[in-house]
Amino acid sequence: MNKSKSTKSSKSNNFKIVAAILVVFILIIAAIFSYVILQTPQKEKEPEQKEIDDRISPYCEQAIFVEIKRIRPKGVIEQMMDSGSLIKAINDWDINEKGFEYPLLSKIAGLEINGAAITALIKGRLPGKGWDVKPKFYYGTEIDGFDWDSGKVTFSTWDTGYIFNEFYQVVDEEQEESDVEIRIFEKGNKEPVESCKVIYDYRTGTWTGEDYFMDEDGYGHYNGTDYEFWFDIRQTDYDGDGIPYWTEVNVLGTNPKIDDRKLDHDNDNCSTAWEWKWGYDPFTWDNHTFLDPDNDGIQNVEEEYMYKWLANPYQPEMYIEADFSKDAPDLRPLGFIPYTIEMKPGKIIPINRPTITEVLYKGQEVVLFDETKAMLMERFNEHGITVHIDDGCMGGGGDTLDLLAPEVGIKPSDFVISGYYKKNFADERKGIFRYAVLVVRAGGYNYNMDYTGRYDTVVVSATDIFFDSGQLGHAKTPRAQRVAQAVSLLHELGHSCGFGYIHCGGVDNSTMKGAMEHWFDYRSAMNYQWYGCRYFDYSDGTHGENDCDDWGKLDVGFFQRSPGSYDLEGIDFAFDEPPINRR
């Protein structure tokens, strides 16, 4: 055996043993060290304190702007319904019970005469007194004790529309807060009839007080007893995005020299400035194309699109575009006789008989009355819903449509209305606005005009041919016609809010024997009996066992959703048993 090889092998083994011992020793030392470190309380590292930049307006002169966007007086419904002593006296008659009749008239006619229907017939012929008097008012502001008012600019209207009038005042540099009061004055009254006091914070660009973020009537919306108004408060801002310097630097971390209205840092289709104003994190992605926190069918991306027109993502709104068919020509001077004879069943004896009927061309004017719009706004306002009607005031409505052909008859055909819908109702408004078509001669209808199955189109008549029909209690006077038009629109809008047969069998109930009596408790404009009495309201479900709670189940966003089974209901109904619906 070679001695040198044996020596090398021995040395190699000794080296391995020593190396193994060293590894074990190192592992033991490491374990002991780790144990000691873990058992020793560690002093937490203090977070790095960010230096606060307390400057408020370093790049521009500091000033405050108060903008009055829209003012709407209240009380129009009461004025229209109770104008004149005769109407007030008739309103006091007890027509709320099924058994209320007119004994003398009943005896003469030999029939049971419904008191509510006769009362509506009488009221439809009373001109009323004072219904056409509009409130006169002006507004003013007080900023840090300095008064500003529009005294010489007095409004005489039920709705100012979108005025966007603005006051501004220079304040001390680096001033942190301002006291702001917005006041509404009525002509001849030195004391305000409505006011709202807030404290504006120049650091955050927000305000608190009698109006504040997420309050019950909406941020920048004061819903008072006699008036409601919309407003905004902002300050001078170097980049013009409405986000104050202090907030951009110390809260958002955005550049105070770049307009964030044009930026979308989280790519969720809503701008940084809009998300900041409405409480969203501009750097966290939200599904704004789907989110609809107020369930009005207007998603957040659409809410931002409509922000100029007072859209609030937390307060339900109903936007309506109104277009009008051309006024009917008056052909009577040319020898045209505006009547024809048709075979129709009689009202008392249901046997066909010759009946004189008015025809289309009789010089009828198509108009949406100011009082009608104001009544709709007020009724929905009572339930926390803001109605906006664009009949030309918002740049999209007010189109003049081709006159319906005479052969169309009472109901405009679907293809005519679909033509209006495609040509005159802008695509970007579909899913935001309901489309209202006012025509010369028609009943009232709620149409499905969209391939998604949305019932977003309503059609109503806007001339005295319709108002003089028995369906609306023969609305002969200008006051009664305005009320009748409001009732007709309220009815059709109810369909677009989900009031169909499934909601209540009294909706659009027929004149079939027993139907009216059975659904008498359902006191709603959706019930033909009360509709014919020009009852301007939905029911709250408190009028009897056969009543339905319309307001409790009203779905403002229904117009954007396919009704599904609503269209299928009624196929297997027993029409002689409740719920009784039209065929």
CATH number, domain at 169? 2.60.40.150
381 and 515 part of one domain: yes
| pLDDT band, very low/low/confident/very high, at 223 (cuts 50, 70, 90) | very high
Instruction: Name 181's bridge partners.
Output: 142, 197
75 and 118 part of one domain: no
Domain end point (choices 246, 273, 304): 246
Residue 443 lies in a domain: yes
Residue 165 lies in a domain: yes
pLDDT in tens, 332-372: 676 666 677 777 776 666 677 787 766 666 677 888 999 99
Residue 563 lies in a domain: yes
Per the structure, the count of domains in the chain is: 3
502 and 377 part of one domain: yes
Domain end point (choices 246, 276, 308): 246
Residue 410 lies in a domain: yes
Note down the domain range covering 198.
52-81+134-246
If one compares 22 and 125, the residue with the highest pLDDT of the two is 125
Of 245, 306, 295, nearest to 270 by C-alpha is 306
Question: Is residue 139 helix, strand or coil?
Answer: strand
Residue 194 lies in a domain: yes
Residue 110 has pLDDT above 50, yes or no: no
421 and 498 part of one domain: yes
Note whether 300 and 266 are within 8 A (CB).
no
Instruction: State the pLDDT at residue 228.
Output: 97
76 and 143 part of one domain: yes
Residue 299 lies in a domain: no
3-state secondary structure 294-361: CCCCCCHHHHHHCHHHCCCCCCCEEEEEEEEECCCCECHHHCCCCEEEEEEECCCCCCEEEEEEECCC
402 and 483 part of one domain: yes
Indicate the pairing of strand 433-439 with strand 457-461.
Answer: parallel
178 and 141 part of one domain: yes
89 and 190 part of one domain: no
Q: Per mean pLDDT, which range of 52-61, 133-142, 441-450 is the poorest?
A: 441-450
Note whether 319 and 309 are within 8 A (CB).
yes
Helical axes 478-496 vs 370-381, angle rounded to 10°: 50
Residue 40 lies in a domain: no
Instruction: State the pLDDT at residue 123.
Output: 75
| pLDDT band, very low/low/confident/very high, at 214 (cuts 50, 70, 90) | very high
pLDDT in tens, 57-94: 999 999 999 999 999 999 999 999 888 878 777 776 65
Residue 583 has pLDDT above 70, yes or no: no
461 and 506 part of one domain: yes
Domain end point (choices 197, 213, 246): 246
In the predicted model, what is the mean pLDDT of the chain? 82
Residue 9 has pLDDT above 90, yes or no: no
Residue 571 has pLDDT above 50, yes or no: no
If one compares 464 and 127, the residue with the highest pLDDT of the two is 127
Question: Mean pLDDT over residues 33-56, rounded?
Answer: 66
Instruction: State the pLDDT at residue 358.
Output: 66
Residue 513, classified by CB atoms within 10 Å of its CB into exposed (0-12), middle (13-18) or buried (19+), is: exposed
Indicate the pairing of strand 317-325 with strand 400-401.
Answer: parallel
Residue 38 lies in a domain: no
114 and 164 part of one domain: no
236 and 374 part of one domain: no
Residue 4 has pLDDT above 60, yes or no: no
205 and 89 part of one domain: no
Residue 148 has pLDDT above 70, yes or no: yes
Q: What is the pTM of this model?
A: 0.83
If one compares 114 and 317, the residue with the highest pLDDT of the two is 317
